[in-house]
Each structure stands twice: as structure tokens, then as C-alpha cells.
Amino acid sequence: MDRDAVLDLMAEYDCIVLPSLVEGWSVAATEALLIGTPLIATDVGSAFELAEISEPVQIVPGIARDLNDITGTAFNRLLNEDHPDFHDRLALAMIKMIMQRDEMIQAAMKATERAHHLFSRERMSQRYIDVVSRV
């Protein structure tokens, strides 16, 4: 699929779920905000910043409690273990999203203008220019 087709498909979703161990901010999360799709993300990366931009971003406590303890061995162990409590937290967030589907979609659509402003090419380019000019 080309990029436009992927975004069109994502725009049809009721919600995007991004259960991540160490990274919560991704291109997919940004795209969800830009196209007005509710999001369930774990409490890593910039998840809390996402929630400040769009009310229908549900933050779920992730698997790892302290990211400083994640070594290569610990990372593989965490990924290979079963985490029923984490699965329950994700399931509850999905149930909440389903029960409030229409309101969540409406609120996500309402937040797109702010997301477009924050993540516009012009704004990002200006920030890079500001950083480079300080050097």
C-alpha cells in the first residue's frame, strides 16, 4: 500500500493501540493524532504529551516499571514472559474506548487542528533553524 492508502485505512479505525515496552512516541502515534483517531498507548516515551494534545489518548501502565533496569537480557525476558496484568490493563482501556466510541472519535477529530499546528512542517523547520542558529 502507498502512504496515502495506509493513512486512509488508519482513519477508518475506531482506535489505534500502541502497547510499547520502551518507546511510546512513534510515527504511528503522531499520525493517529493528525487524522483524529483515538489512541491507547503505554506510559513510556511521550505518551503523556500525547494525552495533553488529545483527550482520547488513553495511557496504560506498561510492563517495565523502571526503564533504567532494562538491559538486553531483561528486554528479551520481558518480551518473552506472559504479562496477564498488562493484558488486563490493555483490555480495560479497549473496553472503555468501545463504550465511549462516539465521544472518543469526536474528541479525537476535534484535536486534529491542534495536532496539525504542533506538528506542521513549518513549525518543525523553524525549530530546527532556531537550534542551528544558536550554535
- Could you report the per-residue pLDDT of 66-109, keeping only the tens digit for each? 777 788 888 888 888 999 999 999 999 999 999 999 999 999 99
- Could you report the per-residue pLDDT of 18-39, keeping only the tens digit for each? 888 877 567 888 889 999 999 9
Domain containing 42 equals: 3-134
Q: What is the 3-state secondary structure (H, E, C) of 76-111?
A: HHHHHCCCHHHHHHHHHHHHHHHHCHHHHHHHHHHC
- Decide if 13 contacts 37 (C-beta within 8 A): yes
Tell me which residue of 56, 53, 37 sits closest to 28, measured CA to CA: 37
Domain total for the chain? 1
Is the pTM higher than 0.85? The answer reads: no
CA dist 35 and 9 (Å) reads: 11
Neighbours of 44 (CB within 10 A): 21
Q: Dig out the grid coordinates for 98 from the structure.
A: 468501545
Give the CATH number for residue 123. 3.40.50.2000
